[in-house]
Amino acid sequence: MKSALAGLALLAALGLPFALSEFWIFIAIEVLAFALYAVSFNLLLGFGGMLSFGHAAFFGVGAYAVAILWKKAGLTMVLAFAAAPLVAALVAIVIGYLSVKRIGIYFAMLTFAFQMLLYTIALKAGWLTGGDDGITGLKPAGLLGDPVAYYFFALLLSAAAIYLIHRLVRSPFGYALQALKGNPARLQYVGVDVRRHRLATFVVAGAFAGLAGALFALSSGNVFPNWLNWTASATPIVMAVLGGIHSFLGPVVGAAVYVLLEVVISGKTEYWPLVMGCVILLLVLALPDGLSGLGQLLRRQFRGTGNG
């Protein structure tokens, strides 16, 4: 049932660009990038029990990496793009090493602080990052310059990356992660080095967030320091919680809904943050299991009336 649904969704995704205008193709690419971003975040939160409040750091680093390596260091676009997740992983090793020693809200604060450090660098190191103006002119030339082609490129990478994360979650590593989330003390006493597993998870999640950032940067054609700003770190949390952190594909749904909401609402009012704030309040106070929880509830309701 689930895999049938996933197959159907994939089929729809394949046909999508032929039914959409260019504007909406770019929105669809954004959804793909953010879906990967949200899934990589949920690898930390939903499966590893690690609440990172600085995940935007890696999305931003991936985006800046492709921009700087391509436009400033003179690498080819493809090489720069391939290097982006690796750069994000390297940064994740450093930040992770300093952060995974602590858990819960302390971990959240540390990751947040390091993200703000990167934000400051993006803002102040103008010679490297373009400062306030960011780096623009990142639209790929050649085949990938065509929105439909880039859409398929993004679809392929995003789907492949999400599949990799899916395999990881169900692998022995993923089992250990699940055990770690529930009972780290016990896990140490079955011979698992909990801190190193945490760090590895953090690095993997960082690398995939970097890939998502690079994907999005080449689609939007630019990167700005705001991608690293503090409000950016709430985005993956909202997406994951909106979709439901206990479901593997929940964050994908959350990302799609979030992006579409933003497009629709910010087209109607400049007070998009106000609306977003209210949506978050509603989510937190009334929908603790997100849309997937709501879905389950409705299904149960539906079955209940069908039987009775």
Partner 1 sequence: MDALADFLALHFGWASNPVVVARQLLAAISNGMLLFLISAGLSLIFGVSRIVNFAHGVLFMLGAYLAVSVAMLGSAGLGLFAAGLIGATAGLFVLGVLIESGLLRRIYRAPHEFQLLLTFALVFIIGDLVKLVWGRADYGMEVPPPLTGSTQAFGVTFPVYRLFLIAFGLAVAAGLWFALARTRWGVLVRAATMDRQMLGALGIDTRRLFTTVFALGAALAGLGGALAAPIVAIGPGLHVQVIIDAFVVVVIGGMGSVMGALVGSLLVGLVNAFGLLAFPGLAVVLTFALMAIVLVIRPWGLFGAPE
Partner 2 sequence: MAEPVLQVRGLSKQFGGLLALCDVNLQVERGEFRAIIGPNGAGKSTFFNTLSGWLKANAGRVLFEGRDITGHPPHRLTRGGIARTFQITSVFAGMSVLENVQVAILGYRGQTWRPWTPARTQHGELARELLERVGLAGEVGRQAGTLSHGDQKRLELAIALAGNPRLLLLDEPTAGMTARERLESIHLVHRIAGELGLTVVFTEHDMAVVFAVASHISVLHQGRLLAEGTPEAVRANPEVQQVYLGEAVIESEQRT
Give the residues lining the site for partner 2 (CB under 8 A).
167-168, 170-176, 178-179, 181-183, 185-194, 197, 200
Binding residue for partner 1, selected from 69, 83, 253, 276, defined by CB under 8 A = 276
> Minimum CB separation from partner 2 for residue 286, in Å?
24
**Any idea of the CA torsion for 203, 86, 222, 124, to the nearest 10 degrees?**
70
Contact call for residues 87 and 239 (beta carbons, < 8 A): no
- Provide, rounded to whole angstroms, the least separation between the CB of residue 51 and partner 1: 5
By C-beta, is 136 or 229 nearer to partner 1?
Answer: 229
192 binds, among partner 1, partner 2, none (CB under 5 to 8 A by kind): partner 2
Question: What is the signed CA dihedral for 224, 228, 229, 233, rounded to 10 degrees?
Answer: 140
Strands 222-223 and 135-136: what pairing? Answer: antiparallel
Residue span 208-247 as binding mask against partner 1, x where in contact by CB under 8 A, dash where not: ---------------------xxx--x--xx-xx---x--
Nearest distance, CB of residue 307 and partner 2, angstroms: 25
Q: Give CA–CA dist 187/184, Å, rounded.
A: 5
User: CB-wise, 43 or 122, nearer to partner 2?
Assistant: 43
Interior/surface letters 257-294, b for 16+ CB within 10 angstroms, e for the rest: bbbebbbebeeeeeebeebbeebeeebeeebebbbbbe
From the list partner 1, partner 2, none, partner contacted by residue 25 (C-beta under 5 to 8 A by kind)? none
- Torsion over CA: 112, 99, 97, 182 (sign): negative
- The burial of 37, by beta-carbon neighbours within 10 Å (0-12 exposed, 13-18 middle, 19 or more buried), is given as buried
Instruction: Figure out which of the listed residues 73, 124, 300, 301 binds partner 1, where binding follows CB under 8 A.
Output: 124
- Number of residues interacting with partner 1: please give it, by CB under 8 A: 42
Q: Which residues, 6+ apart, have CB-to-CB distance to 131 below 8 Å? A: 122, 123, 124, 125, 225
- Phi, psi for residue 135 in degrees, rounded to 5: -125, 125
Under DSSP, the state recorded for 248 is S
Minimum CB separation from partner 2 for residue 194, in Å? 7
264 in contact with partner 1 (CB under 8 A): no
From candidates 76, 104, 146, 186, binder to partner 1 by CB under 8 A: 104
Interface with partner 1 (CB under 8 A) = 45, 51, 53, 98, 101-102, 104-106, 108-110, 112-114, 116-117, 120-121, 123-124, 229-231, 234, 237-238, 240-241, 245, 271, 273-274, 276-278, 280-281, 283-285, 288
